[in-house]
Each structure stands twice: as structure tokens, then as C-alpha cells.
Structure 1
């Protein structure tokens, strides 16, 4: 118990340090032809995975107050830490020939809030005279306008990306509400942020639902608070170990590894059910507590080992897929399936040895008429209707 407690404390500390993966999910192995073709494409044409796009439709953007607010919004977003560059209709550049230096200079068209509608009209004339931006940043026929934001690679692949996207969203919400517009958001940084927030939320949701469902099933079968409580505690230790293993191996939470915790919960609870059920069955037969615990370990322990080792091998096979996400998921799942088995086989007998002997109410599930009737029917069909089946 002491050793398991110390290991669990260590794993709990490791689990507290775990982080979400903010990198682009890499599913294909490095030698996959499709992945190689994708890498060659990026070398030739580059990638736009760091661009967040904000768009809206408004044919009246070239009104003084509205345009100045869009210009101010563009500057405010550009000043957010981690934002590399920004392009919008209020932050465009034109090219001027520098004869003295024999080069072209890039001149920002708007570099201060405009003072009059006449000044804005002249700026509009300059912008519309540059066909390069037509259809790229704005559409004069539909009134569609676009803002493109790029991020530094360091901030893009870190937790700070979520904070940046939230800051941008907070600023644009003010503009959207003030002018009663509908702003649309897209781009990989925005999509990946929403995706990771959903993963972190659903991880807790799935784990919570697993606990509730398993607790209900345990209560229906055993009608015992202690059986439910200690089974959940034992499996929760396995969940902590699984999260600790992820950090211990230098991994991060991905869309797949986020399923390890609910998976361990679902696999670990049946281990507890089999052990407790066998203990109740043996105790009901002869009334000797220690004898019931001994037989429980000898009989169910071996069966559970075979069931868990085959499950672990199934997950372990993913190690040979050469896909980083599948390898990480397979390694963590395989190790912790067996770790949860060991935790269950050690703690459940120890806990049961300290608890009072099961009451008649707690062992009543062994005489359940409905379950026994179903099992008897299946037994009859298997033994007497083999040809028909």
C-alpha cells in the first residue's frame, strides 16, 4: 500500500504537469508517399497553416468612423504579442520607385486615422487603383472584406495561441457589435484552437460520464456504497498513472491520447466487478472471508491477466505503425492497461480484507432471477441447440 501510494503521488505530480499538444496533428509516417508529396508541396509553395482569416460583408466600409475603427482594430490586433503580420484593407501597401537607390519602396497607404471623408475618398481611389488587392483583400461588387493575420511559429505551437485567438476575438466582437455586422473566422490557428478547446472539454466530459455510468452499473449489481466507492478510487489511481505516463514519456495530450483516461476507466471497472463478484460468490458458499479472498485472487486473477494482456498487446501493436499519434497512444494504453490490472489485483483484495464481511443485501445480486433466467436460457441454447445456432 505504501509503495503504491508513493508511486501514485509521483504519477499524480507528473499528471499535473501534462500539457495539450498545440502542434499540427501528424498522423502519417515520414516515409508515407502522401506525406512525402505533401512535404515537397510545402517546399515548393510554402504553407498557410499560420494564417487566421477574419471576413465580413459590408459595402459601406468606406465611411469615416467605420473605416477608422477598422484601422484601429487592425493596429490593436497587430500589437498583440505573438502576431507577426496583418493585412486588411486598412493596412495595405503600394510600391513606389526609388530612382536614387535604384529600388522599389513599400509604402503603407494608411498610416494614421483619417480626418475627413474627403481624405478617405482619396484613399479609396488609391486602393481601388491597385488591382492586386481586388478579390484578395476586398470585393468591390459584394462588399466582402478580409483580414489575414499571421503568427510567430513559437507562439503558434504553444498554449499562448489560445490566448491570442481569444484576444483577437474580444477585439473584433466590439467592432462587430458596434456596427451590427457578422464577422466570420477561419484559418488553421483558429480551427486548431477551437479543436483543442473541444478536446480538453470533451476529455473531462467523457471521463465524468464514464465515472457516472460505471458507478450506476456497480450500484445496480452490488447495492453497496463501499463497492462503488473503492472500485472508482482504484480505477482513478489507474487513470492518474495513465496521465502521468503521458508526461513521463515526454508526450502531450492529443486527440487520441486524450481517450486513454476514459479507456482505462472502462477497462478497469470490469476488473473490479469480476473480483468483487467472485469474492461474494465464494463467501456465500462457505462464509470464510480469507478463503474467499484467496480463491478470488487465484481464479479471477489468472483470467483477468489473460484478458488484460491480450488487450494490452492489441494496443501495443500500434507501436509498429510508424505514426507518431498512434505510437504514443498505443504505448501509453498498453502500459497502463497492465498497470491498472496490477493496481486492481493488489488493492481490491487489501480493501476487501479491511471491510466487514458482505451482508445478505450485498450478495443478493448472485440470486437475481432475471439475470439467472437469461444465463440459464443461453446455457440451454448453447448445449441443446448447437446445430440451429
Structure 2
């Protein structure tokens, strides 16, 4: 999970950077999928075929602030998303990433996390929006790196 709480993400340039980040992270080897506000679907009933129809809310990148504001009003009006991806109180939002278990449970996890963190750092530099990280892959990757770097400070055991 990558979270952010900065209302400037709903400004056109920053939102399109978030959209680009979402697309980029989805292409990282070892990442199965990414869900963010820029990838939400509008689900409507198709009575003719007795089914549901899912269409992207943001079919293309918004070209104006008015267009973005209009689409965000639509997102905020959909009950299914309320309190799920965007906090109605703070406006905080998140990107939810799923990792391929073959990467998650192997030494390749660190490379995937390094790629993800590299792209998110670029986003932070471009937008000046602080990102926060959570989730088992991030924690495992961070802890593994810290333990490995601290091992060099331990003296060699006398019997080794």
C-alpha cells in the first residue's frame, strides 16, 4: 500500500502524475496489479442483457481542472467507493499494489520493491507530495535490508 494525504493530488498536474505512477507501477515485473483513484470503474446495470457493465471513470487523462473536478464528483458520489479508497474526512487516498507470490516469497522481492520505491520517489520529487508505505512486502523488504546492513557491525563469533 502506498498512501498519501495531500489535497494537491486533486490538482490536474499532480493527478495526472498519479495516473502515470499507477500505470508505471502496474508494469513493474513482479507486480500483478495496482488500484488507485485514477483507475476506478463505474458499474452500471445493463437491463437489456441482464448484467452489469463496468466502464473506467477516467477513460483518458483529464485535460482540464474542470474535467477532473467533474470526474471526482462522480467518484465521490458512488457509494461503493466511499471510505474505501478515498477518506471522506481527510481526502487521503492510496494505491493498492498486489505482488506475484513468486516474487513475494523469494530473493527477487527486494528488486521489485526497489523498482517500486524508485518510481514513487520520482513521483514525490515531481509533485512534492509525501508518500507513506505499508504492507507485508514493504515491511519484509525494509527489515531484510536493515538486518543485512547491520550484520556487518557484529563482530565475528570466535567459533566461526
TM-score, normalised with respect to structure 2 = 0.90
Q: Does 1:143 align with 2:54?
A: no
2:129 paired residue number: 181
Q: Does 1:163 align with 2:114?
A: no
Q: Does 1:129 align with 2:77?
A: yes
- Contact 2:9–2:129 under 8 Å retained in 1: no
Match of 1:103 among 51, 58, 62: 51
1:193 and 1:123 map into 2 onto residues whose CA distance is 36
- Contact 2:31–2:100 under 8 Å retained in 1: yes
2:47 and 2:10 map into 1 onto residues whose CA distance is 33
1:205 paired residue number: 153
2:146 and 2:27 map into 1 onto residues whose CA distance is 28
State the structure with bigger RCO (CA 8 A, min sep 6), 1 or 2: 2
- Displacement after TM superposition at 1:92 (Å): 1.1
CA RMSD of aligned residues (A): 1.7
Secondary structure class of the residue paired with 2:78? coil
Pick the structure with more strand per residue: 2
Match of 2:23 among 61, 65, 75: 75
2:128 and 2:78 map into 1 onto residues whose CA distance is 29
- Contact 2:26–2:32 under 8 Å retained in 1: yes
1:102-121 deviation line (CA, Å, top 9, x unaligned): 21122221132111222212
Secondary structure class of the residue paired with 1:138? coil
Pick the structure with more helix per residue: 1
TM-score, normalised with respect to structure 1 = 0.39
The structure having more radius of gyration, on CA atoms, is 1
2:153 and 2:90 map into 1 onto residues whose CA distance is 43
1:204 and 1:80 map into 2 onto residues whose CA distance is 31
Q: For structure 2, list consecutive stretches of 5 or more residues without a partner in the other structure.
A: none
